[in-house]
Chain A
């Protein structure tokens, strides 16, 4: 019996020939990625006086930059002090920052065949790079910062075979919404993404799907390695790496085929994700007060280009507002070079600094009681982006941009048709 790509990584990191479903293994991590929030005094987490390996720890300030409150300002100060005292080599504070999951990609820390540990729940994002990556929480990260290892249970894997081509106006975000809508949660299961459809998913697309796999409650989400992965990492990889692929006789609990050809834009309804998704046509016309494009799910240059294509020469509806937050400083630089920021500003959108920002409701762009937000960020939980009496719906950046212009939820395919018809 062969192993899946993930099982191979867990076997290597636990010095075993092989691992099997049900095994609980102790693994050395290759990279430990820490972020700002655990340093806030409200988190009350003790500070290590020695760390496992300062050269393998990456510290990124992302959730609350620049500091929105004194509590967070003190936390960022504590994070900076920790970086200095412990000699953390890879430290990315304000101005050289981005959302941690985007930075570890851009800077080549998330590498094929490696095990990347991070406290944040959307760590699955790095699975796009054929990397084993799972969100672990701040206390487990404290353990890892000290010891460089942690445990995993080897869970069964669901394999998604992707095929076909997405129609115009349909995006990778719609693919993962479709999976969540049809198959629901994947507790105690890993997911892997393979198949001919990967050819038409660039790395940004895979990062979107991998990030949102956290909302499936999956353990690990891992993509196959291919020439696109290799090309992305060519000038970025921090070190040499060895990709992994699932053996032909690896065991899967289920194999499901996702055909892109048939997909439509998909909207996640308020408060929870599994089995809570509708085609955009069913919710079109619903008023929105705020649109948000950003986060580790959809704040990349590819997402901003899609938004700009829709917003160029148009205006955000007077009864709506649109906030656009790049996922990293590099994304912001690219957006400036390509003239996207001017398009956004002329359309009446707000363009912010890179940060998690409105996604986790800790910083800028909150929504008030009775308001409705359509977002391309990661979660639709009650109260997450502000008032508990607000509603959060989720959609692709194209659907968000088109809806912000209309002031109501609308199908981005219609908006594009209008443009093509010269209206």
Chain B
């Protein structure tokens, strides 16, 4: 797989799912939900994000609920999330929706906002284009990498005839 390259947005520690997907999104059509991402902690951010951008997070990124926040990130065009550490349930959601994400201790110190990140998702490594510094993170099992890159659970189940069309 080719490396992902994207502009970096930085977020801190304990960024939770309720910030990513506030309750108002539950009442909105799927196409409108991404605009509510981080509206409580960073108003206006969702309109600045461009397709291919990358989130670099602090520790315990994605802590909290099962709400399908990864889907909203994809809707915004986010191509990958790399954080000092990622909450286990959020990471599962990323895999199941098809959003590349991995934990990489120290990554938040490697980047400033606006830097360009070059990411090898299967290899769980990341490089700062500006400084040329790089780090390796926590690799996911090959099967989960494949599941992510093929779009998550839905295409798989659809192919196997489990879903109503």
Contact = CB atoms under 8 A, between A and B. Distances in A.
Contacts of A136: 66, 89, 92
A217 B60 contact: yes
A286 interface: no
Which of B14, B26, B40 neighbours the largest number of chain A CB atoms within 10 Å of its CB? B26
Contact of B162 (A49, A69, A271): A49
Contacts of B23: 360-362, 383-384
A146 interface: yes
A185 B26 contact: no
Contacts of A146: 157, 162
Contacts of B41: 382, 388
Which of B29, B39, B88, B163 neighbours the largest number of chain A CB atoms within 10 Å of its CB? B88
Contact of B154 (A37, A43, A139, A153): A139
Nearest to A144: B153
B128 interface: no
Interface in B20-37: 22-23, 25-30, 33
A298 B90 CA distance: 24
Given A72-B26, A151-B143, 12 more contacts: A42-B27, A43-B68, A46-B157, A69-B27, A137-B92, A142-B154, A151-B144, A272-B16, A379-B16, A382-B16, A382-B19, A388-B40
A137 B16 contact: no
A42 B29 contact: yes
Contact of B59 (A121, A185, A215): A185
Contact of B87 (A120, A134, A187): A187
B26 to A, nearest CB: 5
A49 B164 contact: yes
Contacts of B28: 42
13 contacts: A42-B26, A42-B30, A46-B157, A46-B163, A72-B26, A137-B68, A137-B89, A139-B152, A185-B85, A217-B87, A274-B60, A360-B65, A361-B23
Interface residues of A, number: 49
What is the interface of chain B mostly: helix, strand, loop, or mixed?
Answer: mixed
Contacts of A283: none
Interface string A39-77: 010111011111000000000000000000101100000
Interface string A354-385: 00000011100000000000000001011110
Interface in A175-194: 185, 187-188
What is the interface of chain A mostly: helix, strand, loop, or mixed?
Answer: loop
Closest 4 CB pairs of A and B: A388-B40, A139-B96, A272-B14, A381-B18
Interface size class of B (residues with CB under 8 A): 35 or more
Nearest to A184: B60
A178 to B, nearest CB: 19
Interface of A: 24, 37, 40, 42-44, 46-50, 69, 71-72, 119-121, 134-140, 142-143, 146-147, 151, 153, 185, 187-188, 215, 217, 219, 271-274, 360-362, 379, 381-384, 388
Interface in B83-115: 85-89, 92-93, 96-97, 103
A40 to B, nearest CB: 7
Nearest to B157: A146
A379 B154 contact: no
B141 A383 contact: no
Contacts of B143: 24, 151
B18 A362 contact: no
B158 interface: yes
B64 interface: yes
Contacts of A388: 22, 39-41
A37 B162 contact: no
Given A50-B162, A217-B87, A140 B26 contact: no
A62 B38 CA distance: 26
